[in-house]
């Protein structure tokens, strides 16, 4: 690739990069609340909620995300439901990721001292009130670095949507490679884009983790 | 097409044997990858802990770079590199190599944590008994570290099994690819993909139960570790 050709290629990859960021944002925005709900369900004394939460977590984190993606993209049309590739990506990655978010939230809730709950209850908080104002905020603060790592995982997993033709960074890289045959320069540039996104996130997570350790 | 006609192929002995062959390949790739990654990861971990700066920087650079990339990208990159270098590894070899490049970086961190969890006094005692550096590492530190590394290694194997499904994209005839061949023939994607998802689930769930049993003794440490990191 000469310098003059390189610029259109970079803007081509940049389009994919923007879609990767947008997809990551949507998946995080959906999987964090869903995972929090499932994690809370697993922490309640209500047996049915706990069973449902456990079933959710144990199913979705033990299935390859690529299969979930294929299930929605190739499977649903088999019964007459067609879902756009991008939407399939959001749904599949959200379902997968929420299982890990739920595990972290559950671990965080379990790590909050029982005395906190007892103190809140004796101050007149109901069960939900104690959860909402006392336990959950502390649990989230504790697992914030873990949630950061999960978000990094989302970025990495979004690359899978390239397999169903969604024009993300990985897909744009594959298209560019097949047009130019500049295999190494193309995929190295794609890798640099991913690093440009993930390394700052990792540094942020490390900073959060150090802060958490100081507080603990 | 009605439901029973879509389900019938999945009860056919030949088709089930075809899919079982894919499962065998999936298992072989995952096990081969995790064994090679343990070797590669141990070398990388020792490199990262080395007091010789150029070695520790190179190892840390490799680990942090690869860990920050999608496994799919690493696999495709290695796959093309093998093809361009005209190495005759076949699809199977290229996929195992690609997954090993990725999982070595992650296994290295497991090994490093294992080595660092061993009390320094153990090393000092071994050295004062006259053991060399390598001998101390090999016969004192690593055997003890390995026992602590087992639960996270099983978790890494689960992740590796999930990642083998990406091999189907480059034409490896593993479980998912054989599943797509079946449903393209019989037009039953939902049923076939559901069956395949269940097979992967059984494998990974079984292993996750094993991992939890292995860490039962240090359950509290494990819980604390889960707060810090969870590989997805």
Q: What is the DSSP string of chain B?
A: --HHHHHGGGG-HHHHHHHHHHHHHHHHHHHHHHHHHHHHHHHHHHHHH-SSHHHHHHHHHHHHHHHTS-HHHHHHHHHHHHHHTT---HHHHHHHHHHHHHHHHHHHHHHHHHHHTS-HHHHHHHHHTT--HHHHIIIIIHHHHHHHHHHHHHHHHHHHHHHHGGGGGGT--SHHHHHHHHHHHHS-HHHHHHHHHHHHHHHHHHHHHHHHHHTSTTHHHHHHHHHH----
Contacts of B77 in chain A (CB under 8 A): 187, 191
CB nearest A156 (choices: B71, B200, B223): B71
CB nearest B230 (choices: A96, A104, A184): A104
Cβ distance A64 to B183 less than 8 Å, yes or no, reads no
ipTM of the complex: 0.92
Q: Tell me whether residue B3 is exposed, middle or buried, using C-beta atoms within 10 angstroms of its C-beta: 0 to 12, 13 to 18, 19 or more.
A: exposed
Contacts of A70 in chain B (CB under 8 A): 176, 180, 189, 193
- The pLDDT score that the predictor gives to residue A113 is 85
Contacts of B76 in chain A (CB under 8 A): 170, 174, 187
- Asked if A102 contacts A56 with a C-beta cutoff of 8 angstroms, the reply is yes
Look up the domain containing A203 and give its range: 3-215
Buried residues in A21-57 as b, exposed as e (16+ CB within 10 A): eebbebbbebbbebbbbbbbbbbeeeeebeeebeebb
Q: pLDDT for A39-83, tens place per residue? A: 999 999 899 999 999 999 999 999 999 999 999 999 998 888 999
Mean per-residue pLDDT over chain A, rounded: 92
CB nearest A170 (choices: B73, B197, B224): B73
Per-residue pLDDT of chain B (232 residues; tens, 9 = 90+): 567 778 888 888 899 999 999 999 999 999 999 999 999 999 999 999 998 999 999 999 999 999 999 999 999 999 999 988 888 899 999 999 999 999 999 999 999 999 998 888 888 899 899 888 888 888 899 999 888 899 899 999 999 999 999 999 999 999 999 999 999 998 899 999 999 999 999 999 999 999 888 876 666 566 666 555 677 7
If one counts the domains in chain A, the total is: 1
- Write the CATH number of the domain with boundaries B3-228: 1.10.3720.10
Coil vs helix vs strand at A124: coil
- Asked if A147 contacts A101 with a C-beta cutoff of 8 angstroms, the reply is yes
Q: Which of residues 137-196 of A touch B (CB under 8 A)?
A: 142-143, 145-146, 149-150, 152-160, 162-163, 170, 173-174, 177, 183-184, 187, 190-191, 194-195
- The pLDDT score that the predictor gives to residue A4 is 53
From CA A128, how far away is CA A120, in angstroms rounded? 11
- Asked if B179 contacts A64 with a C-beta cutoff of 8 angstroms, the reply is no
Closest CA–CA distance from residue B201 to any residue of chain A (Å): 5
Contacts of A65 in chain B (CB under 8 A): 162
- The pLDDT score that the predictor gives to residue B230 is 73
Q: What is the CATH number of the domain that holds A138?
A: 1.10.3720.10
Contacts of B194 in chain A (CB under 8 A): 71, 75
- Asked if A6 contacts A177 with a C-beta cutoff of 8 angstroms, the reply is no
Please give the span between the terminal C-alpha atoms of chain A, in angstroms, as a whole number: 53
Cβ distance A184 to B194 less than 8 Å, yes or no, reads no
Which is more confidently placed, B119 or A15? Answer: A15
Could you tell me how many CB contacts below 8 A there are between chain A and chain B? Answer: 147
From CA A202, how far away is CA A114, in angstroms rounded? 32
Residue A79 CB coordination number (10 Å): 12
């Amino acid at each position: 690739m000469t310098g003059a050709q390189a610029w259109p290629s970079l803007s081509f990859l940049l389009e994919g990069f923007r879609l990767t960021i947008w997809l990551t944002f949507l998946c995080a925005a959906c999987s964090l609340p869903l995972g929090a709900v499932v994690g809370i369900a697993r922490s309640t004394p209500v047996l049915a909620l706990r069973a449902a939460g456990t079933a959710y977590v144990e199913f979705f984190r033990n299935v390859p995300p690529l299969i979930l993606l294929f299930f929605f993209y190739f499977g649903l049309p088999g019964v007459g439901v067609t879902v756009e590739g991008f939407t399939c990506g959001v749904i599949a990655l959200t379902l997968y990721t929420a299982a890990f978010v739920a595990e972290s939230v559950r671990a965080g809730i379990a790590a909050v001292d029982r005395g906190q709950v007892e103190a809140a209850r004796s101050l007149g908080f109901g069960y939900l009130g104690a959860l909402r104002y006392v336990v959950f905020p502390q649990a989230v603060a504790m697992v914030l670095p873990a949630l950061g790592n999960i978000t990094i995982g989302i970025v990495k997993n979004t690359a899978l949507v390239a397999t169903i033709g969604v024009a993300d960074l990985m897909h744009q890289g594959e298209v560019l490679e097949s047009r130019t045959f500049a295999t190494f320069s193309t995929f190295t540039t794609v890798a640099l884009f991913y690093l440009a996104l993930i390394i700052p996130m990792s540094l942020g997570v490390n900073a959060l983790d150090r802060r958490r350790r100081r507080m603990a | 097409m009605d439901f029973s006609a879509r389900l019938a192929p999945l009860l056919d002995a030949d088709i089930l044997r075809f899919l079982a062959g894919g499962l065998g390949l999936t298992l072989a790739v995952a096990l081969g990858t995790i064994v090679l990654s343990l070797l590669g990861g141990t070398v990388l971990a020792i490199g990262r802990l080395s007091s010789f700066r150029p070695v520790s920087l190179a190892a840390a650079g490799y680990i942090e770079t690869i860990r920050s990339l999608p496994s799919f990208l690493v696999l495709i990159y290695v796959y093309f590199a093998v093809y361009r270098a005209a190495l005759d590894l076949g699809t199977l070899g290229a996929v195992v190599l690609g997954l090993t490049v990725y999982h070595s970086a992650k296994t290295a961190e497991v090994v490093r944590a294992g080595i660092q969890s061993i009390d320094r006094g153990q090393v000092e005692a071994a050295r004062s008994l006259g053991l060399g550096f390598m001998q101390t590492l090999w016969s004192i530190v690593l055997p003890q570290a390995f026992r602590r590394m087992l639960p996270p290694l099983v978790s890494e194997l689960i992740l590796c099994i999930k990642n083998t499904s990406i091999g189907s994209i480059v034409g490896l005839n593993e479980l998912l690819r054989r599943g797509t061949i079946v449903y393209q023939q019989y037009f039953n994607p939902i049923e076939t993909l559901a069956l395949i998802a269940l097979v992967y689930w059984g494998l990974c769930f079984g292993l996750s139960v094993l991992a939890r049993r292995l860490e039962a003794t240090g359950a509290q440490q494990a819980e604390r570790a889960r707060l810090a990191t969870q590989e997805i």
